[in-house]
Chains A and B, each alone.
Chain A
Amino acid sequence: MRRTTAGLIAILACVAAALAAGSAWAMSEQELDQRVLEISDQLRCPTCQAISVKDSEAAFSRQIRDKVRSMLREGKTEEEIRAYFVSSYGEWILRAPKKEGVGLLLWSLPFAAIVLAGGLIAWRLRRATQKPRPEPTPATPDDAGKARIERDLRRFERGF
């Protein structure tokens, strides 16, 4: 009896371990899919116009995604995978320029444009606030105005 119980416990333990391993494998496959999508989103489809490898169903894109997957399985880092594709396709394959050299200049251009535009707006606002304000129009009419009002009122009362 005791042997039977021990055997049952051992079988249950094995089943539990197998299930746990299965779920862990499924998790890592999900993570792998996610990593493949992330990296292939950074790569340009060689046969398309302005489409990432992630968004393309071209044969080259499928092969690149499979290559990314196999390199990740081999334990290659994201940087190593990018370097591999740059070594065969050049910087062109990267959808975003590298943040160094000319690439750094390209990255900095939008920020420089924002700073420049902000500076221009601030400068124009400052000039506008520093201008002398025009004299406000008097609320009460002058003598000529009063006379014109009186004349118009009389014409109104007469019925034009």
Chain B
Amino acid sequence: MIRSWKFWLVLAGIAVVVGLFAYGFTVDPKLVQSPLIGKPAPDFTVTRLGGGETLHLAELRGTPVILNFWASWCVACRDEAALLEKAHRRYGLESGDVRVIGIAIQDRPEAARAFAERYGKTYFLALDGEAGDIALNYGLYGVPETFFIDRDGVIHHKQVGPVTWEGLVTQVNAMAGQQQAKR
């Protein structure tokens, strides 16, 4: 039986709509590619949680940076705390290849300090200001989010959600390899 062109037109329309829905279900609407990848990391100056040392991101040029955004009220941040500390000890303290920095957002200093003590964070921790300038400059959607900044101060990768050890190692190696390739 030969169908009319109207039948095929309606069928094609339905197929397009169903295809779009099917595609929509395969992607996470929350995962938006950051426009900052491949761009210079927004600069900031912060004071260490608890006072004392001041850190200016631009002064770390020449050292890859793992910049982690977290908060004491963030449940997923508990899962990754030990991994970031491990990365700090292995790549920061032992080899000095990488600097790990944690910026707490939308948090209170005492709560952030208590969280750091409870989960044994010894790397550089600071608090974003009440205006959230650092979080907004980095286009944060929530916590945890982690940016991998290469030796040139360029954002190499952004991890949305808690990091994994494999992910950390992969990104650190990728930043090291990228630098070797440039040489």
Contacts and interface: CB of A to CB of B under 8 A. Distances in A.
Nearest to A46: B141
Interface in B62-105: none
Contacts of B33: 90
Given A67-B136, A70-B131, A46 B142 contact: yes
B32 interface: yes
Contacts, number: 46
A137 interface: no
Contact of A90 (B35, B135, B138, B140): B35
Is chain B's binding surface mostly helix, strand, loop or mixed?
Answer: loop
Interface stretch (A57-65, A95-103, A144-152): A57-65
Contacts of B35: 86-90
A67 B141 contact: no
Contacts of A55: none
Given A86-B35, A88-B35, A88-B36, A47 B142 contact: yes
B151 to A, nearest CB: 22
A89 B30 CA distance: 12
A63 B131 contact: yes
Contacts of B32: 89-90, 92
Contacts of A85: 136
Interface in A40-80: 46-47, 59-60, 63-64, 66-67, 70
Contacts of A46: 139-142
A63 B132 contact: yes
Given A46-B142, A87-B35, 19 more contacts: A47-B141, A59-B132, A60-B106, A60-B140, A60-B141, A63-B106, A63-B135, A63-B136, A66-B131, A67-B131, A67-B133, A67-B136, A70-B131, A88-B136, A88-B138, A89-B35, A90-B32, A90-B34, A92-B32
Interface of A: 46-47, 59-60, 63-64, 66-67, 70, 85-90, 92-93
Interface of B: 32-36, 42, 106, 131-133, 135-142
